[in-house]
Chains A and B, each alone.
Chain A
Amino acid sequence: MTIDIALWLAQDAVTNGAVYVLLAIALVLVYTVTRVIFVPQGEFISFAALSLATLQDGKLPGTVYLLVGGGILVAIVDVIAAIRDKTMHRLPRILIVNVALPFLVAALAWWTAPQTNSLLLQILVTFAIITPLGPIVYRLAFQPIANASILVLLIIAVAVHYVLTGMGLVFFGGEGLRSRPFLDITFPVGVLNVSAQSLWIVFTSLALIAALWFVFERTLYGKALRATAINRIGARLVGIPARFSGQLSFTLAAFIGAASGILISPTTTIYYDTGFIISLKGFVGAIIGGMTSYPLAALGSIFVGFLESYSSFWASAFKESIVFTLVIPVLLWRSLTSPHVEEDEEQ
C-alpha cells in the first residue's frame, strides 16, 4: 500500500464514518430516552434518499401517502383517546397537526415534483415528508407500549422495520436510484481529489453534531430529553411527560435519518432496503459506545468507517464479516468490564 492509497482510503473512511456517526447518535438518543433499539432508523435514510431521487425525476414519491395515511391513523387514535378522556378541546389541535399539516406537505410535494431544477426546494420537501414519520411511528407503534420491557420494544422495532421496508418496495420498486450531486466539482488536495459532496457530508455532520450539542446543553427541550435519559421516573416527577420526550427523540432521529439519506444519495445507489445495512454499521458504532455515550459512539462510528475502508482494500470479500464481527469482542469486553444492571421495573 502506498501513501497515496492510504490517503484515498482515509478520505473514504471519513466520509462514510461521518454518516455512521449521525446514525449512531440517533440510535443512542432514541435508546437512552425511550429504551427502544431503533432498528427502523435505516428506513428513514432509504426513504429520504429515494424520495429526493423520485422528486428529481419529476414524480411524487410514495412516502407522501405514508405521511398522509400515518397522520390520519394517528388522528383516529388520538380522537378516540380524547373522546374517552372527555377532553374535546384537544380535537382541533389533533386534526390540524395530524391531518391538515400532512396534506399541506403532500400538496407542497405535488407542487414541487414538476420543478425538477430546484434542488433546495426538493431537499426541504424531503425533510418535510420524512421528519414527521418519526413521531408518527412513535405514536402508533411505541407509545402504547412505552413501559414494556426492552425485549418487547426491540421485537416491535423489528416488526416496524419489516413493515416500512415492505412499503419502500411498493413505493420505489426493487431497483436502486441515485440523485444528482449538489455540486459536481472536485478540489485537488495533494494527491487527493476531494469531491464537493464528501465535504458536504463531513461538514453537515459536524454542523448537526454541534447543533445537537447546543440543543442538549442550552435548551429546555434538550435538557428535558437528557433528564428522561438519566432517570425516567424522576423526569416524570418533575413534570416531563415520557410521551413528549419519546416524540421529540423520534422526531430528531427521523430528521437525522433524513439528513443522512439526502447527503449520501448522490454518492451511491440506494435501494429500498439499503438503509438497514447502513444503519447496522451505525449500530456497531453505537455499541462500541455502549449505546449510552455520544462521544464514544461517534468515535466508534469513525472507527467502523476506517475498518470498512481498509478492509475493502485488503480483503473485500470479507469486508462485511470483518465490520460486524467487531461487535463480538466489544460486547465481550463491555460485559466483562461494566457492572451488570438489572432492567429497572416500573410500576
Chain B
Amino acid sequence: MNRKLLLALGLSMLLSGGAAAQEINIGFTMGTTGPGASLGIHYKNAFQLFPKTLGGQPVKYIMLEDATDATIAAKNARKLISEDKVDAIMGSVSVPSTTQVALIANETKTPMIALSPVALPPDKLEWVFVVPQPVPLMMSAIVEHMKTHNVKTWGYIGFTDSWGDLVLKATEKFTGPDGMKLVASERYARADTSVTGQVLKIIAANPDAVVVGGSGTGGALPHLALVERNYKKQIYHNFGTVNREFIKVGGKAVEGAIASTGPLIVFEELPASNPIKAVATDFVTRYEAKFGAGSRNAFAGYSYDGFLLLNAAVPEAMKKAKPGTPEFRVALRDALESVKNLVGTHGVYNMTAKDHTGLDARARVLVHVQDGAWRLMK
C-alpha cells in the first residue's frame, strides 16, 4: 500500500517536473540530400551554432530529413505537429517543399518560420513567417542597376523549375514598366552538359544584358558559355548564386558578374553605421570558425534569422500561455506578427499583419565578382 502510494507520488512528481521545465519544441524539416542538398546542408549547419535556450526557455530542436521532396516534407510536418506536438515548425529547402509545410502549418494552426520563399498568396500565410527576401525585392536592385546603365533589351536564361520561374517573373515585373524589353527567354537544367543552343539564341538576339536564373554553381554554366561565345556585355545573377563555389567553378570568366544578395555575405565592407553589421559579423565569424574560412552563405543566415525571430517572440508568448498548448501557439503567432526592428543577418524585420516577411531595402546589397571574390559594389 505504502509502496504504491510512493510510486504514485513519484510518478506525479516526475510528470509535473517535466511540465515545470517548460521545454519548447521546435520542429525542423530540411533537405540535405536530393537536388537541394547544396543549400540544405548550410541551413542545417547553422543549427549547430544555436544556444540551448530560446527566449530564455530550454529548447529542443527535432530535426527530420525530407530529401528535397515536397511529399516527404509534408509527411514530416504532419509527424512533427501531431506526434511531437511542436510549438513551431521551421523548413524547408525548396519552394515546393516549404509551400507544402506552410499549408499544413496553416491548417493545424502551428506557427511556421519558412526558410525559403513560399508560393502562396499573403492571405494563406496567416501562420507562416517568411525569412528570405522576396524575389522581387532582390531583383528590383538588379533592374535599377540595369536602368542606370542604359539597358534597353535583356535576355534571360534560368532553371526549368520554380526558381527559374520566380526569378523571371520578378525581373519582368520591373523591366516592363521601365521599358526594357525581354528579347530572349531561355531555360536550362542544372545537370545539362551544354547550353550551347540557348546561348546561341541569346547572342543572336544581342541583348544589352543577360540575367541568369540559376543557383549556386549551376549559375556558372550559362555564364561560361556566354563568355566563350564572346558575349561582352553585363551578365547579372540572382541571390541564389552568391557563394564561393560559383567563383571556383567559373574562374576568371565570371569576373565582373553582378548579383544582389543579403548583407551578411559582405559584412566586412558594410559601413559601421549599418545595424546589420554587428549581427552578421557575430554570426559569420562563428560560422566560419566552425565550417572553414569562406564558408559563409545566405542559407545559414536564413536559419539564424529564423532563430532570432523565434527568440524575440517566445518571451512575449510565455507571458500568455505554457509551451505545448494550442494557446501558446496562438500567442507565439501573435508575438511573431508584432516583431519590430529585429536586426538579423539579412536585414531588419518589421512584421505586420499584412507583411509576414517584414524586410525592406536594407535587406539587399549589390555585389560583384572582383579578383575571385564577391565584393560590395560602392
Contacts and interface: CB of A to CB of B under 8 A. Distances in A.
Interface in B202-249: 204, 216-218, 220-221, 243, 245, 248-249
Given A174-B38, A313-B201, A317-B160, A8 B216 contact: no
A269 B217 contact: yes
Please report whether the interface of chain A is mostly helix, strand, loop or mixed according to DSSP. Answer: helix
Contact of B35 (A267, A273, A313, A317): A273
B221 A269 contact: yes
Given A15-B194, A267-B193, A317 B187 contact: yes
Contact of A176 (B39, B196, B217): B217
A311 to B, nearest CB: 7
A176 B216 contact: yes
Given A277-B189, A317-B160, A174 B37 contact: yes
Contacts of A316: 157, 160, 186-188, 197-198, 201
B4 to A, nearest CB: 52
A324 to B, nearest CB: 12
A104 interface: no
A41 to B, nearest CB: 15
A342 interface: no
Contacts of B196: 8-9, 12, 309, 312
A166 B33 contact: yes
Interface residues of A, number: 37
B221 A320 contact: no
A178 B37 CA distance: 18
Contacts, number: 109
Contact of B41 (A2, A9, A174, A178): A174
Nearest to A310: B197
A173 B160 contact: no
Interface of B: 32-33, 35-41, 157, 160, 186-198, 200-201, 204, 216-218, 220-221, 243, 245, 248-249
23 contacts: A5-B204, A9-B197, A12-B196, A16-B193, A19-B193, A174-B37, A176-B245, A178-B217, A178-B249, A264-B193, A271-B191, A278-B191, A312-B188, A312-B195, A312-B196, A313-B197, A313-B200, A316-B157, A316-B197, A316-B198, A317-B186, A317-B187, A319-B187
Given A174-B39, A175-B38, 20 more contacts: A9-B200, A16-B193, A169-B33, A175-B243, A175-B245, A176-B220, A177-B249, A271-B38, A271-B190, A277-B191, A309-B194, A312-B188, A312-B192, A313-B197, A313-B201, A316-B187, A316-B201, A317-B186, A319-B188, A319-B189
Interface of A: 2, 5, 8-9, 12, 15-16, 19, 166, 169, 173-178, 264, 267-269, 271-274, 276-278, 309-314, 316-317, 319-320
